[in-house]
Chains A and B, each alone.
Chain A
Amino acid sequence: MLRWSPSSATILPELILAVGAIVVLMVALFTPRRLQPWMAALAAAVLLSAAVFAGLDLIDPPGLTFFDTLAADGVGRWATLLLAVVALLVVGLSVEWFRPDARHAEYYVILIFATLGAVLLAGANDLMELVLAMMLSSVAGYTLAAFHRRSRGSSEAGMKYFLLGALANGAMVYGVALLFGLSGSTTFTDVGPGLEGADPLALVVGFGLVVVGVAFKMGVAPVHPWVPDVAEGAPAPAAAFLMIFGKIGALVFLARFVLILPDTQLGWRPLVALVAAVTMTLGNLAALRQDDVRRLLGWSAVSQAGYGLLAIVAIGRSDLAIPSLLMFLVAYSFGTIAVFGVVVALRGLTDRISYRGLAGPHPWLMGAMLIGFLSFIGIPPLGGFAAKLLLMGAVIDAGYTWLAVLTVINSVVSLVYYFRVLGPAYQEKPGGRRPTMGRLAGASVAFAAIGVIAVGVVAQPLLQAWNTLDL
């Protein structure tokens, strides 16, 4: 049965991103060097229009497109919208950061491609589409991580990111082959029924290997080691993006994916719960001693990925699961942009000690960092709290109370390392002002910080929209 969606508007955001990337590249080729930073504006325009069209799509009825290989449902559109906004904010952070780079228009091109990869991943309704979306986002990700071509850290981060990603993707592809073999199809619409009564052993291995790939994308144990390295080594704006985009794409994909799996042969729920538990604990504990703020943020991103998995554990069992997933993604994205943005705005200042007494001379930046960190801990009424509330409610609802308890314990642990940075910033005698990165970065930080507050306080419109969503 062919179900070709006649309305190309359904995939307009994807088209805009793909074409837009090429347009940016072409224009950059014929633009003199001093105008290169304006490519950021162009990229921003592309991302903005993608965001606008994704937003307009929200009212469309959900459906599948391209012969069921791509889902165009509410969750996917929200993910698209969020990704575009995140990329937009990252562009804002990047302008000044990359200005000295002789040739950085490609950075924006790759950024758009990475966004597109994550968008496709979030919408993937086909195993092959999964593989290619994963490849697109990964390849773009490696490039972003290594984009400082004279920086020892950046190149190392890119290399490690690649090495781990290649292995994880290799494993995932084999898993895809296994699932294809079991079900006889790669399209989810057929995979689900095809897997009914499938051999449990092969199913477990196939699912496990796919999860390895998804875990890599999200930075979840045991495929997390790239996260702190990339957070520390990659260009800071790119690092912020890399912390976020994989989580959005992969979490939404995973939610879509597990729903087609037969519950009877495969204990995917406890498996995801275990991975979530290990990830959040590991990330938090490892972050405890970090003196490098970016690396600390990397480990914190690992633990946050663990929290995000709670939504997957509850999916299908609690009506809070999907709202909690989206709330987590939104809150996490804005929070990460805010805190990484502060690092960017302080020209990459990353030594914990250097943050001493900064609250005096930089009240707004440190205020944004405070809001971001408090949101990560889950202090109300910030977005992070709304996310944790929903996540924990969802897992308790799904019968995984122990996971909620563990989340609580981890939240407490996380407080320690966040306040190892914030404490001195506020307690010590105010120091001198530090050079900053310019207005645009500050504006992105402000937008993200306000977003963190807003999604917590004005959660109703979002939740109302999300409550009815289905995968």
Chain B
Amino acid sequence: MLVHAAPYSQQGALSALRFANAVVERGHRLSTVFFYHDGVHNASALMSPPQDEVQLADGWKRLHREGGTQLLVCIAAGLRRGLVDTGEAARHGLNSHSVEPPFELTGVGQLVDAMLENDRLITFAP
């Protein structure tokens, strides 16, 4: 699954998570979610939506915990947009970070691999 849509700005991230849940419920394995373009914002550990709104990050983490789905964040798209894990923060001299496991920063090559290795790829756009 490829997610280009940012949470809270566009519906695409909600649609993606809802579809992911439905696929898993059907008994399929969802091996990888790759976050690209503004979709990288799904990986932010700093989102604090109001309590009575959807907590998207929890949904993504549950997919990982319960089905082992990899949550991959494009590193090039992410660094430009302020998505950094502790390693990248140190390398860029930042005293804060915004990406935590199970989200992993990775290269676009992983998207290409995932596309060719899996039966199906579905994209959720902004």
**A and B assemble together:** no
